[in-house]
Amino acid sequence: MEQLIFNHMETVRGITEQTIKRIPEEISDVIPEGFNNNIRWNFGHIAFTQEKLVFELLGEEMSIPKVYGQFFGSGTKPADWQETPTSFAEITETLTEQKTRIKDFLPGRLHEKLTAPFTNRSGVTFYTAGEIFLFSFYHEALHIETIKRLYRFISPK
């Protein structure tokens, strides 16, 4: 079963990696009316949140640059950015490298308890690495769908 879960991670992250490669960076900072964030923010948020869920909640240090939290953490938005955000190339590299680190770090640990239970914004509480890892697929898919909606609003008809 564990291998099936890691295969699913490959599928989900593969979709994310293919999506970021198809979107031109020059439109990634457009925020259409009715949206709070842009395409760049959503990709960076996927990387930041996955890092937090998989590594930090198990007591490990996050390996992505600290600016990811400032740019892409929950509650952040591009309107508040005071510096140039992380490039698409760097976010793409982070997403790919992160997948490799997860495959090296997490096997055999899905049963482990988190350092503290984690309750998401919807009020769902997670207790183990496996629970939070499975949730991360849902989270990533939600943001990929948002990216696709943003792209449809931005791209010429």
145: tokens are 């769908």
Given a contact cutoff of 8 angstroms between Cβ atoms, the answer to whether 69 and 59 are in contact is no
Q: pLDDT (tens digit, 9 = 90+) per residue, 6-44?
A: 999 999 999 999 999 999 999 999 999 999 999 999 999
Exposure string for 23-44, b = 16+ CB within 10 A, e = fewer:
beeeebebbeeebebbbbbbbb
Containing H/E element for 15? helix 2-22
CATH number reported for the structural domain that contains residue 58 in this entry: 1.20.120.450
Task: Tokens 């600016």: give the residue.
Answer: 67
Query: Which pLDDT score is estimated for 155?
Result: 83
pTM for the full predicted model: 0.95
Which residues lie closer than 8 Å to 116 by C-beta, 6 or more apart? 57
How many domains, the chain?
1
pLDDT tier, 156 (very low <50, low <70, confident <90, very high otherwise): low
Q: pLDDT (tens digit, 9 = 90+) per residue, 86-129?
A: 999 999 999 999 999 999 999 999 999 999 999 999 999 999 99
List the domain range (segments joined by +) for residue 51: 2-122+129-154
Asked if the model's pLDDT at residue 157 lies above 90, the reply is no
